[in-house]
Amino acid sequence: MAEVLSQSQIDDLLRSVAGGAQPEVEQEASSASDAALKARKYDFLTPKRFTKDSLRIIDSIFSNYVRMIQTTLSGVLRLNCEMEMLDIEEQKYNEFNNALNDNDVLTVASFSIGEDNYYDQPILIQLSTSIVSVMMDRMLGGIGSPSEDTFSGYTDIELMVYENIINHIIPLMNDVWQNFFNVSIAFDRIEGNPRLMQDISIDDVIIIVVLNITIRDVSGQMNVCIPGDSLEALFKTIEDRRRVSGGRSKQRETRPHSDASDLIMTSISPGTLELSVRLCDTQVSLGDVFHLRVGDVIHLNKPCDSEALLYVEDVPWFSGELGIQRQNKALKIKGPAGENQ
C-alpha cells in the first residue's frame, strides 16, 4: 500500500519545488539515515583473516595485561598510572610502519610457540615519546614531568633507561599469554630505526593492540604489534584441541554405560610388574657366608611345608604353597598375604 502524505507534508513539498530547495521531510530522513549508518571501508581483495571470536581471545589476554602492567608501572615509577585498552585491529605491517615517526624506537621481543620453539616471530612494542619522557624523568630522579625540549632522538643513556622500563613490561606479557597458550616471550633488542626493521615483511598481516597510558595528566599510547602468522598457529592449536575433545566426547556417547575403572585398567594393563616369591627371611653372619661350601645347610627356622609369600614390586600380595608343575617350580596361591599368618 502506497504511503499517504499529510496536508503539511504536501505543502512543504510544493514550497520546496517552487523554491528549488529540498523538502524538510527528506532532509530529516537523510540526516537520520546518515546518523544510523556509519560507513566503514572494507577491502574485498584482502579479506580479514581473523574472526571476532579470535580477536575476543586477544581482548581477554590484554585485558589481564592492562591490569598487571598498571600495577607494576605504578610501583616502579611510584606514581599513579592508569591504563586502558582502546582498540584491536587487523592491518598490514606497512600501514603500521608508515604511521611511525622517524624518532620512534621499536622494542623487539621474541615470540616462540611450544616447548620446541617451532615457530618464532617477533612481537613489536612501540611507546609514544610523550609518555616515555615522563617515565624517564621519573626513573632519573625527577617528579615525572614531560620534557619541554623538542625531541630529537634518544641518547645512549636514555636508551638504557628505556630498556630498563621495557624489561618490567615484557615479563608481564609472558605471564598473561601463558594462561592461554604455551608460548615464550623474551626481550630481544631495541630497534632505533623502525624503517630498517626486516623481521616482518611489509605485506604481512598483523594485529595491533592499542593501549592508552596516563601518568600525571600526560597520556600516550602503547602499540603492540603481533604477526598474524603466529596468531594463526596459536588458533590452530585451539582447533586441534577442540577436535580431539570432540572425538573423546563421541567415544563416551558410544559407551554410555562403561565404567571408569574399566577405562583405567585398559590403559594400564600393558604395563609390566616384577613378581618374586619369598619363603622367609633369615640372618647369617659374614663369617658364615665366607665359609659356605657346596652341600652346607642353612637353617631357615621355618617348617618345610610353610606357605611362601608372593611379592609384587616388593609388596606382599598373596600367600601360597610351593610346588612343581611340568618340571618347573611353581607357587599355588591360597589367599591374600597375611590372611593365614
Cell matching residue 213 = 597510558
Domains and CATH numbers, the chain: 52-144+153-239 (3.40.1550.10), 275-336 (2.30.330.10)
Q: Considering only 5-9, 23-27, 224-228, which range has the smallest mean pLDDT?
A: 23-27
Chain-centroid distance of CA 12 in Å reads 63
Q: Distance (Å, rounded) from C-alpha 165 to C-alpha 187?
A: 11
Q: Distance (Å, rounded) from C-alpha 154 to C-alpha 161?
A: 10
| DSSP summary character for residue 65 | H
Q: 48 in helix, strand or coil?
A: coil
Of 287, 284, 281, 278, the closest CA to residue 297 belongs to: 284
Mean local confidence (pLDDT), 47-67: 84
Contact between residue 299 and residue 245 where contact means Cβ atoms under 8 Å apart: no
Q: Distance (Å, rounded) from C-alpha 94 to C-alpha 263?
A: 54
Q: Distance (Å, rounded) from C-alpha 88 to C-alpha 56?
A: 9
Q: Distance (Å, rounded) from C-alpha 92 to C-alpha 43?
A: 12
pLDDT in tens, 168-213: 888 888 888 877 777 888 888 898 888 778 888 888 888 999 999 9
Cell matching residue 237 = 592449536
- Paired residues of 107 in beta bridges: 125, 190
pLDDT in tens, 202-234: 888 889 999 999 988 888 999 999 888 888 878
Q: Distance (Å, rounded) from C-alpha 114 to C-alpha 117?
A: 5
